[in-house]
Amino acid sequence: MQNPYSTPNVVDDGPLRPISDSGLWRDKEFLVVRIESPRFPNRCIKTDQPCDTRTSIRLDYVPKKTLWILAGGVIGHAIAKTLLGRSFSLEMPISRNLIDDHSSIRGKATKLVVCSMLIFLLGVVGFVFAMASGVNETLAMCILAPILLLPFFAMGGAVYYTIRQKPLVGVVNLDSSFAWISGVSSSFLASLPSWTG
């Protein structure tokens, strides 16, 4: 039998964290989310308008992302994402219109890439056909050169749409239990308790 007057054993669980039933807080312009089962209100996190549907958003976090991009470009970022990155998904309330707009930009970029490949292939086939049929080589090049250059303009458009398409939300910091999310409406954040951790 344990002595009721003895000093209890205290387990140090690390620094104290603020408590919120929903698992949501605000930290300046960021949304702090408990990764394990947060409870979002029925409001879009981007517009703060009523939203009763949830969309599964995959979030990726790479520590010092900008430094990796500057040091190694897209390849450096891909390597860092593979070696150091963490991914997780959250069911978040985001307006269907925003999701559709985001998807349409991605669709435009994909269509431009596919069209540029088809135009390039048609140009090559046309050039080979013209050469096989005995058309003057210089004339064939004058006619087909613009067709062969068109895909590069289409690829430029695809790059433009890809750059223009920012993620709906992003992760700026991550620890074992909490994620700091950017891109959330300031009025949505104003309704949450402050993060004091």
Please state, rounded to an integer, the average pLDDT across all residues of the chain. Answer: 75
By the 10 Å C-beta count (0-12 exposed, 13-18 middle, 19+ buried), 170 is classed as: middle
Mutual orientation of helices 137-164 and 96-132 as an angle, nearest 10°? 170
Region 105-117 average pLDDT: 72
Report residue 86's pLDDT band, with 50, 70 and 90 as the boundaries.
Answer: confident
DSSP assignment letter at 41: -
Q: Mean pLDDT check: name the lowest of 50-54, 156-160, 185-189.
A: 156-160
Q: Could you report the per-residue pLDDT of 143-185, keeping only the tens digit for each?
A: 677 777 777 776 666 666 655 556 788 888 888 889 999 989 9
Q: What's the token pair of residue 54?
A: 């949830």
Report residue 73's pLDDT band, with 50, 70 and 90 as the boundaries.
Answer: low
pLDDT of 67: 55
Q: Could you report the per-residue pLDDT of 4-35, keeping only the tens digit for each?
A: 554 444 333 334 344 457 899 999 999 999 98
Q: Record the pTM.
A: 0.59
